[in-house]
């Protein structure tokens, strides 16, 4: 709205307010229930204060993740009925292959049961023991697969990404000086590849600019280093480029996505996010020899190279989801809803990561609970308090998620100690966002009385999923 446009208060004379709305209407609904405060307290205690261990029936609004939680469209459900469940050469595989080639632009496709299945294959094939894998911040499963393959993760994201208050428009960018210094120190032969994520999950859903990926391509080309893209939320990244980078305002999301991918050598995908399905993933590369290795290894761990752990109907739903997710009005409404929630919290001066990212609002637990030390798990505590207040389920993205340094055995102490309110795609309404914001506000009001947590059970891998906590 332009500054001079009449507002709601001046209605009556002339009314020029214009809102966006979701480009869909609801055809089927699923009831939601909120259980009593006493039942929530009991459920949380039984879950060891870990929202991953709650039964979903005890949850009211589920903002644990945007992964596999999307509502599929009528076209996708119709596609499910066209599943060709042949063991080999299912027609749905060829649809999926064509969709990936068409929209992401890579030559070869290997399906996988979900993102981490694809990460596993790529890590095993493209990393040699002792090689570095520089990336724009870590992601939990990505880094673990790189480490299990013998790689050493090196964070080369710009410093602004670690500062929840920095308003840098592309906080997901790679710091090319950090990368160049790593190459100079270790030698190009000791770099497996650059692991580049489009919108950086752990930084708050922050994007990478087109200029940055172009410059990255130039730098890596000089040293013969490959760049593989985590395309999980790349469509959302394309939206931020369209909005913020000069020269892209008139380009479609689809065109921006394809251009961005063209600067990389391949991608892995958790189709459970951008691609609007409940399960699935894929890996796509340009190099024929690499593809040969991947399609051989997929048979060992996931399934034949024309299904990779997926049913034919799942591949059909992904192929249709790819077409739907690159529509400009879809992405605008999706990120618009995330912003609606974030803007409310910002107005109420509740500390969140800024700028608001693509898939979630990240509450800044350090500023929320300044009286708690990081080892008292402030972000885990905040997720627990939200659940107690209203049955809303959030996720910790701080010290528990960061795990331990494989060499020293100490906790990683990430700068960001965040609680993620992740918005599933096409699932909740604006009214749900109001309820969520009001609950966060209530928990914020009570912040000074809140006590922290201690960890009472710590699994070896990806501990945040199954760890248990108790009140201090």
Per CB under 6 A, residues contacting ligand F0G are: 65, 67, 114-116, 139, 141-142, 197, 201, 230, 232, 270, 272, 281
Catalytic residue, candidates 291, 444, 464, 469: 464
Known catalytic residue at 55: no
Known catalytic residue at 263: no
Known catalytic residue at 139: yes
Query: By Cβ distance, which residue is nearest to ligand F0G?
Result: 115
161, 200 Cβ separation under 8 angstroms: yes
Catalytic residue, candidates 273, 295, 334, 425: 273
Residues contacting 346, CB < 8 A, separation 6+: 352, 354, 356
Output the smallest distance, CB 197 to ligand F0G, in A: 5
Catalytic residue, candidates 51, 65, 69, 140: 140
- Report the residue number, 51 or 381, with the smaller CB distance to ligand F0G: 51
Known catalytic residue at 15: no
Q: How do 468-471 and 453-457 pair as beta strands?
A: antiparallel
Output the smallest distance, CB 203 to ligand F0G, in A: 11
Residues contacting 222, CB < 8 A, separation 6+: none
- CA-nearest of 416, 371, 412 to 398 is 416
Known catalytic residue at 10: no
Catalytic residue, candidates 49, 139, 260, 428: 139
Residue 395: φ, ψ to 5°: -135, 140
- Report the residue number, 115 or 378, with the smaller CB distance to ligand F0G: 115
Which tokens belong to 226?
């490959």
The residue count of the chain comes to 472
- Report the residue number, 251 or 275, with the smaller CB distance to ligand F0G: 275
Q: Which residue has the tokens 């190279």?
A: 305
Known catalytic residue at 141: no
Catalytic residue, candidates 393, 397, 426, 463: 397
232, 79 Cβ separation under 8 angstroms: no
Output the smallest distance, CB 301 to ligand F0G, in A: 13
Long-range contacts made by residues 90-97, C-beta under 8 angstroms, separation at least 24? 90/306, 90/307, 90/312, 90/315, 91/312, 92/312, 92/313, 92/315, 92/316, 92/319, 93/306, 93/307, 93/312, 93/315, 95/315, 95/316, 95/319, 96/282, 96/315, 96/316, 96/318, 96/319, 96/322
- Report the residue number, 241 or 269, with the smaller CB distance to ligand F0G: 269
Q: Which H helix or E strand runs over 348?
A: none
Residue 345 in 3-state DSSP? helix
Output the smallest distance, CB 338 to ligand F0G, in A: 14
- Report the residue number, 183 or 294, with the smaller CB distance to ligand F0G: 294
Output the smallest distance, CB 114 to ligand F0G, in A: 3
Which tokens belong to 96?
């999926």
Catalytic residue, candidates 15, 87, 461, 465: 87
Output the smallest distance, CB 279 to ligand F0G, in A: 8
Known catalytic residue at 143: no
- Report the residue number, 38 or 300, with the smaller CB distance to ligand F0G: 300
| Active site amino acids | 87, 139-140, 230, 273, 397, 464
């Amino acid at each position: 709205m332009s500054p001079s446009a009449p507002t709601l208060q001046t209605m009556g004379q002339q009314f020029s307010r214009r809102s966006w709305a979701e480009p869909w209407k609801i055809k089927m609904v699923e009831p939601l229930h909120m259980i009593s405060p006493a039942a929530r307290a009991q459920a949380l205690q039984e879950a060891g204060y870990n929202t991953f261990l709650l039964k979903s029936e005890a949850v009211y609004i589920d903002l644990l993740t945007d992964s596999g939680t999307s509502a599929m469209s009528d076209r996708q459900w119709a596609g499910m009925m066209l599943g060709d469940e042949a063991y080999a050469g299912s027609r749905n595989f060829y649809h999926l292959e064509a969709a990936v080639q068409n929209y992401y632009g890579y030559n070869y496709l290997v399906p996988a049961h979900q993102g981490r299945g694809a990460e596993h294959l790529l890590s095993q094939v493209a990393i040699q023991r002792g090689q570095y894998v520089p990336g724009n911040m870590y992601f939990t499963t990505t880094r673990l697969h790189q480490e299990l393959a013998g790689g050493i993760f090196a964070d080369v994201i710009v410093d602004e990404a670690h500062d929840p208050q920095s308003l840098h428009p592309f906080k997901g960018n790679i710091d090319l000086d950090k990368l160049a210094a790593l190459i100079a120190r270790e030698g190009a032969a000791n770099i497996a590849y650059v692991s580049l994520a489009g919108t950086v999950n752990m930084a708050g859903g922050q994007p990478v600019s087109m200029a940055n990926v172009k410059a990255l391509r130039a730098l890596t080309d000089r040293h013969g280093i490959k760049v593989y893209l985590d395309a999980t939320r790349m469509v959302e990244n394309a939206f931020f480029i369209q909005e913020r980078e000069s020269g892209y305002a008139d380009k479609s999301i689809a065109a921006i996505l394809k251009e961005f991918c063209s600067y990389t050598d391949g991608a892995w995908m958790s189709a459970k996010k951008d691609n609007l399905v409940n399960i699935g993933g894929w890996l796509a590369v340009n190099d024929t020899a690499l593809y040969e290795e991947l399609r051989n290894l997929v048979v060992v761990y996931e399934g034949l190279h024309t299904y990779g752990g997926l049913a034919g109907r799942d591949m059909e739903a992904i192929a249709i989801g790819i077409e739907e997710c690159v529509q400009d009005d879809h992405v605008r409404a999706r990120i618009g809803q995330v912003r609606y929630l974030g803007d409310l919290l910002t107005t109420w001066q509740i500390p969140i990561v800024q700028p608001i990212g693509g898939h979630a609002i990240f509450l800044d637990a350090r500023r929320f609970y300044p009286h708690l030390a990081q080892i008292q798990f402030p972000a885990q505590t905040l997720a627990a308090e939200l659940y107690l207040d209203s049955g809303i389920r959030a996720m910790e993205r701080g010290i528990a998620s960061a795990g331990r340094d494989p060499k020293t055995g100490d906790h990683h102490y990430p700068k960001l100690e965040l609680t993620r309110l992740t918005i599933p795609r096409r699932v909740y309404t604006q009214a749900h966002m109001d309820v969520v914001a009001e609950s966060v506000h209530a928990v914020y009001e009570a912040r000074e009385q809140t006590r922290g947590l201690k960890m009472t059970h710590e699994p070896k891998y990806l501990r945040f999923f199954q760890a248990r906590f108790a009140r201090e």
